[in-house]
A and B are shown apart, each in its own frame.
Chain A
Amino acid sequence: MARFLIRRLLHAALTLAGIAVLVFFGLRVTGDPTLLMAPEGATLDQIDLLRRQLGFDRPYLWQFVDHLWGLARLDFGTSVVQRLPAGSIVLARLPYTLSLAGAAFGLALCGGLVLGILAASRRSRVSGLMARAVILAGQSLPTFLSGTLLILLFAIVLNWLPSSGADAPGALILPALVLGAYSMAVLARLVQAGLSEELGKDYIRACRSRGLGRGRILLHALRNAAPALLAMAALEGGNLFAGTVIVETVFAWPGLGHLLLQSVQARDFPVTQAVVLMVAGVYVAANLLADLAHAALDPRLRARLS
């Protein structure tokens, strides 16, 4: 287990380094990074000055070493627009995104589990059919559409909840609902698939022939399907974190996603880069946790690893 832990940690570090390389070269292969950061209408002299200030006139190797050294110290450069460290701008927005993503993920987990169990275990009953319909609709309804429709209903027609911002009480409800609903459908689909597979196995037939009740059988199947499902749930958590970009734009929620879009529009590249690296870091961490949880919970996987 210890060797597995070390290997996975190394792997995660390697992946993060890979992303840093990807960002560095992605920026330079496709064009001139100084032009990306220069405000529109800048003169050639101003661009030259900016290039020197950013250190982009030096050899690539030095820039690259600098880039990695900066990242290792969590220094993402300085925002072109706000003249503040990009890292601290990003950190200031992080709590908003974490609370939104956390609320949505809780909703997605609970709802996804219930819907998935219904869809898998009550195949031909009304409740199962309805669960499947909800899963299908949820997967086909993009967040910007469901968000817009909920704003229309709850903010404009009924006037119960605020349509944007994060200050008013209850402001979290609509964005969390929208973000959670999509992930809920995705998770429910995974639970449905995992549980269906488990319910088709021989030991379930054995349980059934020994006269076990529905609930007991379901518990058996769930316990065996749980580790793999948990791992997938952690991955979906990472996706949900990325999905905040759209939801935060719809609801003007002042989190990372909103910041990402603002920085793209303002050509504030250091901030864009910092958000991308931050989200990738969260995603890699979620991946790592998923693998560790999977190994910790599933003796079969542990046996295979050692």
Chain B
Amino acid sequence: MSGVVSGQKKRDPALFGAVFLLGLLSLAALLAPLLAPHDPMRQMLLMRLKPPGFSPGGGAPFLFGSDELGRDILSRTVFSLRLSLLVALSSSGLSAILGVFVGLVAGWRGGGIDRLAMRLADVVLSVPTLILAIFAIAVIGPGVATLIGVLAFARWPRHARLARAETLRLREKSYVQAARLAGAGTGRILFRHILPNAAGPLIVLVAAEVGLMVLFEAGLTFLGLGIAPPQPALGAMLGSGRLYLDSAWWMTVFPGLAIFCLVLALTILSDRLRDRLDPARAAG
């Protein structure tokens, strides 16, 4: 485990790059209304499929080119990043809150509640996230709130299982028993004594989930689900870019690069977080 002992002082260019990249992308997403040179939904039909502004023969007003309806790719990309981060962060946060709560209570109470919660978790886990999301969106209809809710619902069992396992591990510890004997209530024990000591692995899981949520959101919007059409989404941009692949590479390359960089940065960050917080399960 040389990484754990000497890792603190060693320079880590990958981590630096990831933080930098994520900072840049988040900033672009946050400042989207200020950064975007055009309205992301405004169609300029006379300016369709213009190549990027920096290439020879490029349409000057569009730095990253324009799409099949004459909309600015750069503006759509930064607004899509906003949506991706919003959906990824809120769905992983929501599923963590729900899952950790269920896991803590199930692990602490045991018995029927525990069995019921874990069977329910098994059922949800046995439908792959993407399939569950497609089914749910087909039933409920598209929308940002639906997307967040559906992804959170599909992923809470992972947090619940981990929180439950941690609760089972910690419940017999002497400090938990001491708190119990001192008359602390269930809520106090769970949230003041067990949760803080289980925080490491839980944080690692949430961090890994954020990157996956970006991929799920992009995958769903690529399939044309989850977001109603005029609103920009990275997956949807790739979906329409695919149809103009042989003539308008910029429609695919720029949103594709945005997804790749975002997920890459999130993956590196969550790997490094795992090395720090959960050394037993770190990959060296």
Binding site for B on A (CB under 8 A): 11, 14-16, 18-19, 21-23, 26-27, 30-31, 36, 119-120, 123, 136-137, 139-145, 148-149, 151-152, 156, 189, 192-193, 196-197, 199-200, 238-239, 241-243, 245-246, 249-250, 260-261, 264-265, 269, 272-273, 275-276, 279-280, 283-284, 287
Interface string of B227-244 (1 = CB under 8 A from A): 000000001001101100
Residues of B within 8 A of A189 (CB): 283
Residue with the greatest number of chain A CB neighbours at <10 A, chosen from B126, B239, B280, B281: B126
Contact partners of B36 in chain A: CB under 8 A: none
By the criterion CB–CB under 8 Å, are B268 and A276 in contact?
no
B211: chain A residues at CB < 8 Å are 139-140
Alpha-carbon distance A272/B129, docked complex (angstroms): 15
Other-chain contact of A196, B131, B219, B242, B284 (Cβ < 8 Å): B284
On B, residues with C-beta under 8 Å from A are 1, 119-120, 122-124, 126-132, 134-140, 211, 215, 218-219, 222-225, 235, 238-239, 241-242, 245-246, 249, 252, 256, 259-260, 263-264, 267-268, 271, 280-284
Q: Closest approach, in angstroms, between the C-beta of B76 and any C-beta of chain A?
A: 16
- A136 and B267 within 8 A (CB): yes
Given A144-B222, A144-B238, A246-B130, residue A36 in contact with residue B264 (CB < 8 A): no
CB-based nearest B residue for A133: B14
Among B1, B241, B242, B268, find the residue whose CB has the most chain A CB atoms closer than 10 A.
B242
Give which listed residue, B130, B215, B239, contacts A245 with CB less than 8 A: B130
Which secondary structure characterizes the binding site on chain A? Answer: helix
A112 to chain B, nearest CB (A): 14
CA distance A151 to B223 in the complex (A): 17
Using Cβ atoms and an 8 Å threshold, which residues of chain B touch A243? 130
Pick from A19, A193, A261: contact of B223, CB under 8 Å: A261
Asked if residues B127 and A19 are in contact (CB atoms below 8 Å), the reply is: yes
Whether the Cβ atoms of A19 and B225 lie closer than 8 Å is no
Contact status of A140 and B130, CB under 8 A, knowing A31-B140, A264-B225:
no
Residues on A with beta carbons closer than 8 Å to the beta carbon of B245? 148, 151-152, 156
Residues of B within 8 A of A283 (CB): 126-128
Known contacts A31-B140, A120-B284; 10 additional CB pairs below 8 A are A18-B119, A18-B122, A23-B135, A139-B263, A142-B218, A196-B284, A199-B284, A264-B225, A272-B134, A284-B126
Query: With A145-B238, A151-B245, A156-B245 given, is the CB distance from A139 to B128 under 8 Å?
Result: no
CB within 8 Å: A-B pair count: 150
Chain A residues lying within 8 Å of B268, measured Cβ to Cβ, are 136
**In the complex, chain A residues whose CB is within 8 Å of the CB of B119:** 14-15, 18
Known: A136-B264, A196-B282. A11 touches B127 (CB 8 A): no
The 7 closest A-B pairs by CB, nearest first: A242-B128, A18-B123, A196-B284, A140-B264, A140-B263, A193-B283, A264-B138
Cβ B242 vs Cβ A148 within 8 A: yes
Contact assessment for B126 and A19 in the assembled complex, using a CB-CB cutoff below 8 Å: yes
Given A144-B235, A145-B256, also A280-B284 (CB < 8 A) = no
Q: Which residues of A contact B139 (CB under 8 A)?
A: 26-27, 30-31, 36
Quick one: closest B residue to A239, CB to CB? B128
Q: Are B126 and A15 interface neighbours, CB within 8 A?
A: yes
Residue of A nearest to B135 (CB): A276
Q: Are B283 and A156 in contact (CB-based, < 8 A)? A: no
> Are the C-beta atoms of B238 and A148 separated by less than 8 Å?
yes
- Cβ–Cβ < 8 Å partners of A141 in chain B: 260, 263
Least Cβ–Cβ distance between A113 and chain B, in angstroms: 15
What are 6 A-B pairs at a CB distance below 8 A? A18-B120, A22-B127, A144-B242, A152-B246, A242-B129, A245-B134
Chain A contacts for B215, CB-based, 8 A: 142
B125: min CB distance to chain A, Å: 9
Max chain B Cβ within 10 angstroms of own Cβ: one of A21, A27, A36, A245: A245
Q: Tell me which residues across on chain A come within 8 A of B259, comparing CB atoms.
A: 142, 145
Residue contact B223 to A279, C-beta cutoff 8 Å: no
Contact across chains for A140 and B267 when beta carbons are under 8 A apart: yes
| Bound: A241/B282 CA distance, A | 27
Contacting pair B131 A245 (CB below 8 A): yes
Residues of B within 8 Å of A261, CB to CB, are 134, 223
Residue of B138, B256, B263, B280 touching A149 (CB-CB under 8 A) = B256
| Nearest neighbor of B130 in chain A, beta-carbon distance | A242
Partner of B134 from A119, A193, A260 at Cβ < 8 Å = A260
